[in-house]
Chains A and B, each alone.
Chain A
């Protein structure tokens, strides 16, 4: 009993330290969660919170009847699943290739260069990509012209746009993605390889039977954790690369939420869409973390 009281007094500074953070998170993260309630109202910025009228599920009904709504859902899932698939394979392959390099200077140089695009924002990369892919003098089309191919309007063509998103996303992130696999590769027991060499296993067989099983747990972990991203098409990237010509193939939930909410000022409809997205994502993240915990014994904190 006495111990509990002493512990209480001793812990007071801990509570005091954490309070400023609590207050800010309460205001800027939790109050907005309560604000999701406007999804069930006919909210107008002029009337404010006091004079709101409830309209039940009208906003959701309106959304589901919007022409193109299902197309946007499809675009989002299509783009994000392709990105997740690429993000789970390309970095593993590059990490395996890097792992075979014996020259440390070469390895370091390559790593330094391929990690870099991760730290540039999509504004900057968007600017670069628009320029590089431009049919009017962009370097890719100059090359295509040189080999005798007609210029392609990559960013204005619905056939190309989703794939351009996936490719440029990998271009930005594949290097950074290798970090986690390279770390896993170094933790594989060396003696397994020595034993395999004695048994006469080729490099290829060593990779297949030792290296890949060795990084399988981390690959499974990354797969389960990426589940929460299925509704994230990548707002920053899409917003900085798309234009009305490619809405049909490139418009995703987040860009739609933005346009309905801040360009058309339909606050309640936009919030309703945001609410759907948040809830589905929460469920997906929950399932992902649960699987990660069961399969890889992963815990958030």
Chain B
């Protein structure tokens, strides 16, 4: 920087201020939530909690940890993530590898690729999808949350573009050594594809953890809801009330409002995402840019 003019210096100061405010806007609602979850319900309903707990208490957390439905849903979500990740990852790799071949060596590639990509452009929609899940007999089971989305086409494209970027010599060397396709995929491609596998893994984990709609329509009994669906149904009951209640009414509702237990449940459910976020961040920027803008 040779010369910084006075007006540019003013701009820089304003720029730092604006960016700081934007970052705080993203952070404050979550800090507010955390503060509410650690405050007493009377302090919360009197409107005195902003970014710091008032009358610090762990009572809402101890209350939740005795709540069987919350714990059960948490377990269901964990199972869903593990099972869903395994299925998604295996199918993504098995589909992406053949599709990454050139059409000159694997002629069916183009047809197969369109077969998958078309599902991103057009879908049967809500009711036909629901009826197929019902007819295949997986309603009310964890498979209803996994099989309909078992081949995530967006991730397939991400993976396939990564495979295509690998040097051609890798595959040729493997063939020289007499390795077939499976061997080449397993011993040559996968070990060098860990960054993109990590990207896909993290997207998948977050996707399964956050998914709530399929749980709501495919699970009959609330006992089987994954966490996001359980949370959704709980919050939905409260939302109209919270959206319209006045401050005076809110004070009357002190005992039933449950804002603190709500806040603590929301916070506990984002905790796993906050825990994987640092790893997530390292990969998604690169993975996303490579996957979506080529050339």
Which A residues are within 8 Å of any B CB, using their own CB? 7, 10-11, 13-15, 17-18, 20-22, 24-25, 27-36, 38, 94, 97-98, 100-102, 106, 109-110, 112-117, 119-121, 123-124, 126-139, 142, 151, 153-156, 171, 174-175, 179-180, 183-184, 197, 202-203, 218, 221, 228, 235-236, 239-241, 243-245, 257-258, 261-262, 267, 270-271, 274-275, 277-278, 281-282, 285-286, 297, 299-301
Q: Cβ of A17 and Cβ of B29 under 8 Å apart?
A: no
CB-based contact A301/B113 at 8 Å: yes
Residue among A25, A117, A142, A151 having the largest count of chain B Cβ atoms under 10 Å: A25
Do the beta carbons of B213 and A236 come within 8 Å of each other? yes
Q: Of the 9-residue stretches B60-68, B116-124, B165-173, which lies at the interface with chain A? A: B116-124
8 A Cβ contacts from B12-40 to A = 12, 15-16, 18-20, 22-23, 25-30, 32-33, 36
Write the chain B residue with the least CB distance to A4: B107
Q: Which of B78-86, B147-155, B191-199 contacts the other chain?
A: B147-155
CA of A278 to CA of B124 in the docked complex: distance in angstroms? 8
State whether A275 and B26 are in contact (beta carbons under 8 Å apart), knowing that A97-B18, A135-B246 are contacts in the complex: no
Number of A-B residue pairs with CB-CB distance less than 8 Å in the complex they form:
292
B160 and A132 form a contact (CB under 8 A): no
CB distance from A221 to the nearest CB of B (A): 8
CB closest chain-B residue, reference A134: B242
Known A127-B262, A131-B36, A271-B127: A121·B240 in contact at CB below 8 Å:
no
- Known contacts A32-B124, A139-B50, A240 near B235 by CB under 8 Å: yes
Within the complex, the shortest CB–CB distance from A141 to chain B, in Å, comes to 8
Q: Do A13 and B123 touch (CB < 8 A)?
A: no
Residue in contact with A100 in the complex, picked from B15, B129, B149, B281, CB distance below 8 Å:
B15
Whether B176 is near chain A, meaning CB under 8 Å from some CB there, is: no
Interface of A is mostly: helix
In the complex, given contacts A102-B1, A274-B127, what are 20 additional A-B residue pairs having Cβ atoms less than 8 angstroms apart?
A: A17-B182, A17-B185, A27-B136, A29-B124, A32-B124, A33-B128, A101-B19, A110-B20, A110-B22, A114-B23, A123-B212, A123-B231, A124-B270, A130-B238, A130-B242, A136-B246, A142-B50, A235-B213, A257-B126, A274-B124
Q: Does B295 touch A at the CB level, under 8 Å?
A: yes
Instruction: Say yes or no for B285: interface residue by CB 8 A criterion.
Output: yes
Query: Is B125 touching A25 in the complex (CB atoms < 8 A)?
Result: no
In the complex the two chains form, what is the Cα distance from A285 to B121 in whole Å? 7
Q: State whether B22 touches A94 (Cβ < 8 A).
A: yes
Among B20, B98, B238, max chain A CB count under 10 A is at B98
Q: How far is the CA of A203 from the CA of B2 in the complex (A)?
A: 12
Output the least CB separation between A274 and chain B (Å).
3
A203 close to B11 (CB less than 8 A): yes
Enumerate B97-151 residues with CB–CB distance to A below 8 Å: 97-99, 101, 105-106, 108, 112-113, 115-117, 119, 121-133, 136, 147-151
Give the residue among A33, A202, A244, A281 with the most B Cβ atoms within 10 A: A33
Instruction: Say yes or no for B244: interface residue by CB 8 A criterion.
Output: yes
Report the Cα distance A241→B277, complex, angstroms.
25
16 contacts between A and B (CB under 8 A): A15-B108, A20-B94, A21-B151, A35-B124, A36-B128, A98-B19, A106-B16, A124-B269, A126-B239, A129-B29, A136-B242, A183-B289, A245-B244, A270-B127, A274-B128, A301-B99
A301 touches B239 (CB 8 A): no
Tell me, in angstroms, the Cα distance from A134 to B210 when the chains sit together: 24
- Establish whether residues B101 and A32, one from each chain, have CB atoms under 8 Å apart when the complex forms: no
Q: A29-B119, A115-B281 are in contact. Are A300 and B157 (CB under 8 A)?
A: yes
Q: Does B71 contact A (CB under 8 A)?
A: no
Once bound together, how far apart are the Cα atoms of A184 and B293, in whole Å?
Answer: 10
**What is the distance, in angstroms, from A159's C-beta to the closest C-beta of chain B?**
14
Q: Check A121 against B26 for contact (C-beta < 8 Å).
A: no
Interface residues of B (CB under 8 A from A): 1-2, 5, 8, 11-12, 15-16, 18-20, 22-23, 25-30, 32-33, 36, 44-47, 50, 91, 94-95, 97-99, 101, 105-106, 108, 112-113, 115-117, 119, 121-133, 136, 147-151, 157, 160-161, 180-182, 185, 206, 210-213, 217, 228, 231-232, 235-236, 238-240, 242-247, 249-250, 259, 262-263, 266, 269-270, 273, 277, 280-281, 285, 288-289, 292-295
Inter-subunit contact B249/A136 (CB<8 Å): yes
Contact residues in A for B294 (Cβ distance below 8 Å): 299
Shortest Cβ distance from residue B64 to the other chain A in the assembled complex, whole angstroms: 14
With A120-B210, A275-B125 as known contacts, state yes or no: A151 contacts B181, CB within 8 Å: no
Known contacts A36-B124, A124-B269, A274-B126; A131/B22 CB under 8 A: no
| Cα A153 to Cα B240 with chains together (Å) | 11
With contacts A114-B22, A135-B245 known, is A128 near B29, CB below 8 A?
Answer: yes
User: How close is A79's CB to chain B, nearest CB, in angstroms?
Assistant: 18
List the 8 closest A-B pairs by CB distance, nearest first: A32-B124, A35-B128, A274-B125, A136-B250, A121-B210, A32-B128, A137-B47, A155-B243
The CA of A36 and the CA of B127, in the complex, are separated in Å by: 9
Q: How many Å from the CB of B261 to the closest CB on chain A? A: 12
Q: Are A116 and B247 closer than 8 Å at their CB atoms?
A: no
